Structure 1
Amino acid sequence: MRGTSRTGSRVRGIRDRIGPRGPEGLGPGPGLNSPPPLTVRRRRTRRVPDFGSGLLTSGRWETQILSWGHPGRNVVEKLSLILWRERELMELLSYKLEVERLVLASGRTRWLINATREIEDVLATIRETEVLRAVAADEAAADLGLSADSSLATLAAAAPDPWGSLLLEHRDAFVAAAREIAQLSEDNHELLTAGFRSARATLLGIVGAGPEGYTQDGAAVVGAPRTGLVDRTL
Structure 2
Amino acid sequence: MDYQHLSTLLWREQELLDLLLFKAEEKQYLIVTGKTRWLARIAHEIEVVLDQLRTLEVERAAVTESLAVQLGLDANPSLRQVADAAPAPWNDLFGKHHEALLVLVTELRGLSDSNRGLIEGGLAALDEALLSVRAPSAGTYGASGRTTAGANRAVTLDGAL
Same fold (TM over 0.5): yes
1:99 aligns with 2:29: no
Shift of 1:231: 4.7
Q: Distance in 1 between matches of 2:87 and 2:21?
A: 32
Aligned to 2:37: 110
Q: Identify the residue that residue 155 of structure 1 maps to in structure 2.
A: 82
Which string of whole-angstrom CA distances, capped at 9 and with x for unpartnered residues, describes residues 70-124 of structure 1?
Answer: xxxx111111111110010000000000000000000111111111111111111
Deviation at 1:202, TM superposition (A): 2.5
Aligned pair partner of 2:125 in 198, 201, 204: 198
Amino acid at match of 1:105: V
Q: Which runs of 5+ in 1 are unaligned?
A: 1-73, 209-227
Aligned position for 1:133: 60
The equivalent residue for 1:76 is 3
Rounded Cα–Cα distance in structure 2 between residues aligned with 1:114 and 1:174: 26
The secondary structure found in structure 1 opposite 2:9 is helix
SS at structure 1 position matched to 2:73: coil
Who wins on radius of gyration, i.e. which is larger? 1
Structure 1 residue 200, shift from structure 2 partner: 1.6
2:120 is the counterpart of 1:187: no
Q: Which amino acid aligns with 1:116?
A: A
CA distance, structure 1, for counterparts of residue 6 and residue 15 of structure 2:
14
TM-score (norm 2): 0.81
Kindly indicate whether residue 102 of structure 2 is the aligned counterpart of residue 169 of structure 1.
no
Q: How does 1:52-63 map to 2 (within 5 A)?
A: none
Percent identical among aligned pairs is 37
CA RMSD of aligned residues (A): 1.6
Query: Hey, what's the Cα distance between the residues in 2 that align with 1:185 and 1:153?
Result: 25
Taking a change above 3 Å as real, the CA distance of residues 165 and 191 of structure 1, as seen in their structure-2 partners, is same
Q: SS where residue 120 of structure 1 aligns? A: helix
User: Aligned pair in 2 of structure 1 residues 162, 87: CA closer, same or farther (>3 Å)?
Assistant: same
SS at match of 1:160: coil
Higher strand share: 1
Query: Conserved in 2, the CA contact under 8 Å of 1:89 and 1:122?
Result: yes
| Contact 1:75–1:143 (Cα < 8 Å) also in 2 | no
What TM-score do the two structures reach when normalised by structure 1?
0.57
